[in-house]
Amino acid sequence: MLFNSIEFIFAFLPIAYVVFWALPGARPRYVWLTITGYVFYGWWDPRFCLLMAFSTLVSFTAGLGMLNTPVGSPRRKLFLVVPIAVDLALLGFFKYTNFALDTVRSVTSVFGMDVQVPHLNIILPIGISFYTFHTISYIVDAYRGVITPTRNIWEFSTYVSLFSQLVAGPIVRFRQIEEDLEAIGESSRTRWLGRGISFFCVGLVEKVLVADTLAAMVDPSFAHWRELSTGGAWLAVLGYTFQLLFDFSGYSTMAVGLGYLFGIRIPQNFNSPYKALNPSDFWERWHISLSSCLRDYLYIPLGGNRGGTFLTYRNLMLTMLFGGLWHGASWTFVFWGFYHGVLLCLYRVFRPAWDGLARGVQQLLMFVAAMVGWVFFRATSFGEALHLLRIMVVPTEGAWFSDIDVRLVLVTLAIAAWWSMRGPNAFDMSHTWTVRRRVTLAAAFGAGLALIVTARPSPFLYFQF
């Protein structure tokens, strides 16, 4: 089920909302949010609800075990290692098995060996990377003593299966919403109602009016990448650069709005990343929940910047390589992570010179650097990525693929460029319900709804991860 679908907006969400606020006390609301989360998740394939339930039970049981185990004991460490191993094993099997088999097949063929390596018919459960991060972060924080594990299975299952952020984030840590979960029985329906509706509408505009309009040009362009001209390649890459931002930022903004509607404050996941002045600034703004998790659960445990220059660069590269691999089982994603790792290392080397540039120059250079990286992120092969980069530099004749009016594309690109590089993001905006804001949101929601009704809803790009 998609946030930008008729069944969600006019059936699932109203029913979930009305029943939730009609229920008295915390336990019934936990149960109801768990049920709605599983219905939402099971809409694609009910079988994978069992997988999420198993992961939930394993992590919850481990948390209970830590409550009665002294800090530093071998048994406590067992409650850390076992659930993480189980979660990573499940993630590895479903997401990376065929990637590993295909890599073995490719490597052996290079050496002239004809090894029969099968390709397994494995279906990737939607959102498994996101809820796996939820359970792992919970276990690690419990082990470190950052949180006290909950004794309420329904509270924990609500945290894991919360439909607003279940399949594409943000990656919310338990401690970030623990206060709201604990107070869910006494929370007020009207306290954040207007703010929730406002965030949801802004996210809907980002996704439907901006990202999906650009997708109508970007998708056919990348589908025929061999035939693109230099101008067509630039237009496709530029369009994808903005499409990806507004698609994922739109989902995150809608998730925040849905959280407010149910009395839960979900943290910001995007902070105008194309306003970034350098690679470090970019990763403090882009997919904040993931970058902060990589920092706290991988980079810092590896040693962070405490072991000298070489080890700092090593830790940065390993962290970004893992971040690339997390995004997808493909060497293009791994290279994308490697690319950003190199950018971070280079910035540390040349920081004085870079920071001495004018702010506008820094922002433009960082935007172009990010755009080059998105070529590898979007391409299905290195051949495609290198071809696109080559024709972007070497003047090449070819086609300008676009299934929609070029004027609409250019206007949408202009809006996306201004909004992302100069305008306010959802957290910068005022969500006070003035008459002007009511009219603006009503018009925007109506336009988005009209597109949803007349066209097939477009899945969010990060669902594949």
For residue 191, CA distances in Å to 27, 36, 213, 260, 452 come to: 21, 22, 34, 9, 29
Residue with tokens 């496709």: 236
CA dihedral of 4, 7, 11, 13, whole degrees rounded to 10? -30
Alpha carbon of 29 to those of 17, 37, 166, 433: distances in Å?
11, 12, 17, 28
Is there a contact between 279 and 297 (Cβ–Cβ < 8 Å)? Answer: no
Cα(85)–Cα(98) distance, rounded to whole angstroms? Answer: 19
CA atoms of 129 and 137, how far apart (whole Å): 12
Residue 122 φ then ψ, to 5°: -105, 125
Of the residues 327, 340, 387, 431, which is catalytic?
327
Residue with tokens 């959802």: 426
Reply yes or no on whether 327 is catalytic: yes
C-alpha 345: how far from its chain's center?
Answer: 24
Residues annotated as catalytic are 327
